[in-house]
Amino acid sequence: MKIRLFLILFFYIINLSAQDKLVLFFDFNQDIINEKSQHDFCTWLEHSKNKEILKIQGFCDSVDSNSYNKELSSRRVTTVLALLEFNKVNLSKKLELDSLGEDFKQLKNQSENRKVIVYYQDKVSVKQKREGKNVVFEKTSEKEIPLNETKNVISLAEKVNKAKVGDLIKLENLNFYFNSEKIIIESEPILSDLLQVLKMNPQLKIYIHGHICCNDNQNDVKLSYRRSKFVFDYLIRNGISTSRLGHKGFGSSRPIYVLPEKNEAERIANRRVEILVVKK
């Protein structure tokens, strides 16, 4: 009995030590991660391919009522979960979401209490195979995409074929890292699709429109401009004539959802790239 209890405790400790964590911070009374944490998230995201999220915990400072802080920490957890889903990070089937509010040992520096902690581990199975004296760890298989997620999705080529001059077409799933014009790896096929559409339709001319979220200053168009230019430059490098292309950044002046957005889903919808059909 003692041996069994020891083994359970041993493997529990091993499991804990296999976990790592990402800490993301928020400004006072905000449910969007702050600028430094946006950078930290982007850096972490570049190496997240084989990570699996186990738990997301939300925290608040002790300002305001306990009930409000519970609700705010819950919104922070929801925001981070949406970011992970949006960037296609692997989520455990037993993912835990925990909103503690202010109900934890508060640190003296209040800014350190406004956070979300993401617990994760490498996607290595606990199951081991023994081959003589060697222990082999087996990686779990990548999560398959359910077929129903791809049903009824109209391809970019079909959208262009159906479009009229003056129509706007959103480049679905063309996603960028936070505060950057660099696209995530999973979005590279979207640019390839756009390139092929232009090659198959030599008369087609388009303007590339960049949009951002979360910024009340409609005159701040720098990031949206860089994102539209990133797409523009990619097409030029791959043989599309500049006479067929144009690009412009609109900042947050043309949101799908009114600013300030109510949640991360609305923020994701607002930060996008669209193409305007100029000639067919």
DSSP secondary structure letters along 13-39: HHHHHH-EEEEEEB-TT-SSB-HHHHH
Question: What's the distance, CA 59 to chain centroid?
Answer: 21
User: pTM value?
Assistant: 0.56
How do residues 118-152 score in pLDDT, each as one tens digit? 999 987 543 443 344 443 333 333 333 333 333 33
- Say whether 154-279 and 17-127 share the same fold: yes
What are the residue ranges spanned by the domains of the chain?
17-127, 154-279
* Rounded CA separation 50/21 (Å): 14
Ranges assigned E (strand) in 27-142: 51-59, 90-101, 115-122, 124-131, 134-139
How do residues 205-226 score in pLDDT, each as one tens digit? 999 999 998 888 888 999 999 9
3-state secondary structure of 210: strand
CATH number at 17-127: 3.30.1330.60
How do residues 70-117 score in pLDDT, each as one tens digit? 999 999 998 898 888 878 889 999 999 999 999 999 998 999 999 999
Domain 154-279 listed as CATH 3.30.1330.60: yes
Residues 6+ apart with CB under 8 A from 155: 193
Half-sphere exposure of 138 (CA within 13 A, CB side): 8
